[in-house]
C-alpha cells in the first residue's frame, strides 16, 4: 500500500520539480533532473534519505556541522521538493561543509512503524583547541561527561529520548545485531581513528576495541551464528568483542570496507588504504594490489561473464592527497580472483573522491558505478559526476545543481553522491549534494518490463 502511495505521490509531483531532460556532452538526453534545491542556507555535504513524515515518499535530512570540531549544529528535514518539514538547530550558510562522516542516521529505532533520526551529541572536550571552524579537532586529551545518542521524532524533530555513549565516540556509527535480536537494533560507534565500541539497544556498552578502526566499519554475520561481526580493515571483531583476527596497521588506516559473500559461499572482506586488499574470514590474504590511496571499494555484478567484480578509485597516486591542477585519479575494476579487468585514468585536475554502486539500469541488469567529487579548484560548481558501466565506458554525466547564496560572489561546492530508488520504478536514482546544491537524477531511458498479454476491455480471471 505504501509503495503504491509513494508512486502516486511522486508521479503527481515530479513534473514540476525540474526540466524535462539533461543532455550529456554527446547530446543524448538520457537523464532527467527530477528534483533540485539550490540557494538555501540549510544545504550541506552530508545528507540522509528516509521517509520522515510517513507519507510513503522519501524525504531528505540535511546535516550541518562546525567544520573543524565536527559539532552538529543543525538538522533540516525536507521533502524531495525542498519543502521544510522541521529544523533542529539553526541553519547557516557557513556550516554546509563536512570534514568527515557525521554521526547521523534515519531508522525505525523503536519499531513503532515510524522512522526516528538518531545523532551523536559530543561530550565536552577539555585541554583541546576551541570549537571553531578553523581548528581541526579529532579528539581531546580529556573529556567531561559522556557523549549522547539523541533520538528525534522523524515527523516533528522533537526529542524522544537520549542515552550516554563513551565520551570519545562521536565520529560515526552504524546499526548491527550484536545481541541476536534478529534485527539490527544495536550500535557500533567509533571515534575518529583509534577506538570502537559495541553498544546495546538499551545503551549499555558491551565491549570496546582499540586499534586502527579507519573511517567506517562493515558488518555481517560472517560466522553464521545469528549475530554480526564488525570488520574494520585490519581486524575482524566478533559480536561479543572478541578479536577474530588483527593485523599490524603500521600506522595506517582503512579508507573503505566491504563484506560480500559471492555464489561460491566464501566470504570476501575487502578494504582499501595504500592499496586494495581482499581477505577471507580468517584474515588470510586472498589477493592485494599496491595503490596510491584506494577509496570506497564496492562489489557488484558489473559484467555478465562472472558473478562478482570489485571497483575502486585510487586517488592521486603519488604523492598521496595532492589536490591541485596536476592531480588525477584512476578507476579500477578487478575480478573475483583479483585480476585487473581494466583501468581508467582521469584527466589532470580530476581528483575524484569515491565510487557508489548503483542499479541504474534496473533489476536483472548489470550494476553501474557513480564516480563523483572532481573538484580541485574549490571554486564554483564542481565538474559533473559520471556513471561508468562494467566495460569502463561513461554512460551518463550529472552536474550538481548549485548556485551561490544571495550576496555571495565566489563559492565552493564539492560534489558528493549516493544512490537510492526514490522514484519507485526498481531503478536507483543518482542523488548529488553539496553545500550549495542538491539534485536527484532519474534514468530517462524507457524501463523495459515484461509484455502484457491476454489484454481486453473486459478483464476477468
List pLDDT tens digits, range 161-170.
999 999 999 9
List pLDDT tens digits, range 71-116.
999 999 999 999 999 999 999 999 999 989 999 999 999 999 999 9
Contact predicate 229/257, CB 8 Å = no
Picking from 141, 155, 189, the residue whose alpha carbon sits closest to that of residue 85 is: 155
What kind and span of H or E run contains 162?
A: strand 159-165
What's the pLDDT at 325?
Answer: 72
Contact predicate 172/187, CB 8 Å = no
Q: How far is CA 111 from CA 74, 115, 177, 199, 221, in A?
A: 25, 8, 15, 18, 22
Cβ contacts of residue 265 below 8 Å, gap of 6+? Answer: none
What kind and span of H or E run contains 13?
A: helix 2-13
Cβ contacts of residue 154 below 8 Å, gap of 6+? Answer: 50, 51, 52, 53, 54, 77, 106, 114, 115, 116, 117
What's the pLDDT at 213?
Answer: 96
> Over 80: is that where the pLDDT of 19 sits?
no
Specify the higher pLDDT residue, 281 or 2. Answer: 281
What's the mean pLDDT in 110-135? 95
The C-alpha atoms of residue 373 and residue 49 are separated, in whole angstroms, by: 20
The C-alpha atoms of residue 368 and residue 309 are separated, in whole angstroms, by: 11
Q: How far is CA 441 from CA 16, 170, 193, 420, in A?
A: 14, 32, 34, 10
What's the pLDDT at 25?
Answer: 66
> Over 80: is that where the pLDDT of 312 sits?
yes
What's the mean pLDDT in 420-438? 93
What's the mean pLDDT in 433-461? 85
> Over 60: is that where the pLDDT of 252 sits?
yes
Amino acid at each position: 500500500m505504501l509503495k503504491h502511495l509513494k508512486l502516486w505521490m511522486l508521479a503527481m509531483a515530479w513534473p514540476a520539480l525540474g526540466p524535462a531532460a539533461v543532455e550529456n556532452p554527446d547530446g543524448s538526453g538520457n537523464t532527467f533532473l527530477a528534483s533540485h534545491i539550490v540557494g538555501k542556507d540549510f544545504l550541506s555535504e552530508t545528507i540522509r534519505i528516509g521517509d520522515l513524515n510517513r507519507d510513503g515518499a522519501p524525504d531528505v535530512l540535511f546535516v550541518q556541522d562546525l567544520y573543524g570540531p565536527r559539532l552538529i549544529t543543525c538538522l533540516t528535514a525536507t521533502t524531495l521538493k525542498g519543502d521544510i518539514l522541521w529544523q533542529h538547530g539553526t541553519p547557516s550558510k557557513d556550516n554546509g561543509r563536512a570534514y568527515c562522516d557525521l554521526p547521523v542516521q534515519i531508522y525505525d529505532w523503536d519499531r513503532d512503524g515510524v522512522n526516528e533520526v538518531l545523532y551523536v551529541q559530543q561530550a565536552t572536550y577539555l585541554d583541546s583547541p576551541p570549537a571553531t571552524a578553523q581548528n581541526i579537532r579529532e579528539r581531546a586529551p580529556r573529556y567531561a561527561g559522556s557523549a549522547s545518542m539523541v533520538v528525534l521524532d522523524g515527523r516533528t524533530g522533537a526529542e524522544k529520548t537520549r542515552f550516554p555513549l563513551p565520551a570519545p565516540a562521536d565520529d560515526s556509527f552504524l546499526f548491527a545485531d550484536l545481541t541476536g535480536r534478529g534485527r539490527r537494533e544495536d550500535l557500533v560507534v567509533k571515534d575518529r581513528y583509534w577506538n570502537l565500541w559495541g553498544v546495546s539497544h538499551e545503551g549499555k556498552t558491551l565491549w570496546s576495541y582499540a586499534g586502527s578502526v579507519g573511517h567506517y566499519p562493515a558488518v555481517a554475520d560472517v560466522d553464521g551464528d545469528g549475530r554480526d561481526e564488525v570488520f574494520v580493515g585490519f581486524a575482524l571483531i566478533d559480536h561479543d568483542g572478541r578479536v577474530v583476527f588483527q593485523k599490524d596497521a603500521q600506522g595506517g588506516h582503512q579508507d573503505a570496507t566491504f563484506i560480500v559473500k559471492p555464489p561460491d559461499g566464501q566470504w570476501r572482506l575487502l578494504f582499501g588504504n595504500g592499496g586494495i586488499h581482499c581477505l577471507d574470514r580468517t584474515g588470510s590474504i586472498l589477493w592485494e594490489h599496491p595503490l596510491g590511496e584506494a577509496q570506497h571499494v564496492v562489489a557488484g555484478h558489473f559484467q555478465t561473464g562472472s558473478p562478482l567484480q570489485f571497483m575502486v578509485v585510487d586517488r592521486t597516486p603519488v604523492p598521496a592527497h595532492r589536490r591541485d591542477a596536476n592531480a588525477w585519479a584512476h578507476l579500477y575494476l578487478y575480478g573475483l580472483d583479483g585480476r585487473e579487468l581494466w583501468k581508467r585514468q582521469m584527466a589532470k585536475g580530476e581528483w575524484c573522491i569515491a565510487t557508489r554502486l548503483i542499479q541504474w539500469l534496473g533489476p536483472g541488469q548489470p550494476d553501474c558505478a557513480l564516480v563523483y567529487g572532481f573538484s580541485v579548484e574549490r571554486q564554483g560548481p564542481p565538474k559533473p559526476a559520471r556513471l561508468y558501466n562494467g566495460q569502463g565506458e561513461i554512460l551518463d554525466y550529472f552536474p550538481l545543481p548549485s548556485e551561490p547564496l544571495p550576496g555571495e560572489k565566489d563559492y565552493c561546492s564539492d560534489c558528493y553522491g549516493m544512490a537510492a530508488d526514490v522514484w519507485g520504478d526498481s531503478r536507483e536514482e543518482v542523488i548529488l549534494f553539496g553545500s550549495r546544491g542538491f539534485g536527484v537524477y532519474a534514468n530517462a531511458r524507457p524501463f523495459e518490463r515484461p509484455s502484457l498479454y491476454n489484454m481486453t476491455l473486459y478483464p476477468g480471471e
